[in-house]
């Protein structure tokens, strides 16, 4: 890969996720690394949270992430790092249960941060960094 091709950045806004009018890309790729925007447990059609339940939100959040990865020709196993934001550490065990079921060992590196608030009142949000195989 040349230095010039390493500078190429591609942006992706998924047609299968909620069509927000906010100014962001669902994912950005530079070289062989991809970065997702923060993803929550939104209904892809309505944009509303799927539930007030943290487990249901976590399931939907990871389904939305999987949808994005599928569009990029990737899988959950291509994730190398995640950042989870949650508003209440009381939900840590519930989120870990869903996360451990949806991502296979060896798990990506992960940071979990308690936040004061998340978009739409979500209880959990994820960002992911993925390794993209060379073309």
CA distance 56 to 34: 26
Range 68-96 burial, b when 16+ CB lie within 10 A, else e:
bbeebebebebbeebbbbbbeeebeebbe
Please state, in angstroms and rounded to a whole number, the distance separating the CA atoms of residues 127 and 77. Answer: 15
Give the pLDDT confidence score for residue 75 in this predicted structure: 96
**Would you call 12 helix, strand, or coil by DSSP?**
strand
Domain 28-131 has CATH 3.30.1330.40: yes
Q: Mind listing the pLDDT tens digit for each residue in 106-128?
A: 999 999 999 999 999 999 999 99
Chain segment 3-35, per-residue pLDDT in tens: 554 568 999 989 999 988 889 999 999 999 999
């Amino acid at each position: 890969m040349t230095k010039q091709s390493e500078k190429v950045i591609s942006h992706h806004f998924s047609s299968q996720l909620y069509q927000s009018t906010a100014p962001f890309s669902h994912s950005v790729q530079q070289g062989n690394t991809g970065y997702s925007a923060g993803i929550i447990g939104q209904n892809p059609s309505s944009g509303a949270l799927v539930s007030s339940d943290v487990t249901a939100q976590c399931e939907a959040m990871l389904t939305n992430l999987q949808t994005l990865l599928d569009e990029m020709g990737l899988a959950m196993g291509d994730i190398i790092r995640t950042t989870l934001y949650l508003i209440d550490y009381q939900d840590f065990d519930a989120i870990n249960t869903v996360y451990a079921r949806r991502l296979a060992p060896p798990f990506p590196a992960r940071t979990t941060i308690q936040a004061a608030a998340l978009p739409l009142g979500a209880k959990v949000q994820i960002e992911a960094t993925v390794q993209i195989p060379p073309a």
